[in-house]
Amino acid sequence: MKSILKITLGVALFASLSYSSEQFAMSDADRAMYADLLDANPADMMVQDGKELLSKYGGGDAGLAKFLHVSEEKLPAFIAGFPRYLPDFKKVVGLGQVMQALMVTNGNKAFALKDPKMFNMVAYTKSLANDEKINIDVNANQQMKDAYALGEKTFNTQRGGRGLSCLSCHSADVIGSVLRTQPLPDLGVNNSGGTWPAYRMTKSSLSTMQHRFQGCMNNALQAVIPLGSAEMVGLEVYVTNKAKGKAIAIPGLKR
């Protein structure tokens, strides 16, 4: 498997891949912008909008807690365990699917999972768990075990015109290399599970983890997996578990 991976990566990415120092990962202008945005993340306004949307369409924090059958006091820790299996859904779901169901329960038409307003709602909801440690439990039940296994398979499967997988850019063999001016991160060490939804500097917009996955798939010439599908939720389960125990900090800031 490793030999195949190295050959695939070498053929598909060699022209863009650099093993030089981190100075090539971000221009001086980008570094200055990043430093400024650390103190004034534009997504803070989007998170505030998400709070207003949740209040308008879902009954606010209290409505969400009631919908999830937990107390408001326990809501942050509960959110820190997503994606998770919910008996009401009879499957493992992400926060976007919860927002949709909550909206419908309150007599509203649900936003599409790809709607920026949904991104804002999800960001606000996850921000309720800020400073909580990710407590996803992939062994909690058979449904979570199955979701994790599907996510791992999706992460490792080579697909598309370039024959790439998520692993192609996130295996131990290539982590730290530079692709398209960006270091390839260790998803666990970088706390991907605790820093999405995030503001993307290059897109000037807020994005969820699943939406970022779709961007990677497009770049790799792969068929894009739908948001909220079993494969996409499983992929979020698998990646989030890599950062288990790290603190949630939403909105994140990404290049």
- Spell out the alpha helix ranges (H) of 69-223: 75-79, 95-105, 116-127, 142-156, 166-170, 192-195, 209-219
How would residue 29 be classed by pLDDT, with cut points 50, 70 and 90?
A: low
Q: What rounded mean pLDDT belongs to the chain?
A: 86
Select 43-127's CATH number: 1.10.760, 2.40.30, 3.40.50, 3.30.160: 1.10.760
Share of the chain above pLDDT 90, in %: 68
100-124: pLDDT as tens digits: 999 999 999 999 999 999 999 999 9
Q: What is the pLDDT of residue 162?
A: 87
Are 244 and 189 in contact by the 8 Å Cβ rule? The answer is: no
Q: Is the pLDDT of residue 24 over 60?
A: no
Average pLDDT over residues 226-250: 97
Topology (CATH) of 2-27+137-254: Cytochrome Bc1 Complex; Chain D, domain 2 (1.10.760)
- What's the whole-model pTM score? 0.83
Q: What is the pLDDT of residue 35?
A: 58
Domain ranges across the chain: 2-27+137-254, 43-127
Average pLDDT over residues 157-168: 89
Q: Is the pLDDT of residue 13 over 50?
A: no
What distance in Å separates the CA atoms of residue 78 and residue 82, rounded to the nearest whole number? 8
Q: Which residue has the higher pLDDT, 4 or 129?
A: 129
φ, ψ for residue 200 (rounded to 5)? Answer: -100, 115
DSSP strand E in 52-101: where?
A: 84-86, 91-93
Q: Is the pLDDT of residue 31 over 90?
A: no
What distance in Å separates the CA atoms of residue 236 and residue 214, rounded to the nearest whole number? 12
Note whether 2-27+137-254 and 43-127 share their fold. yes
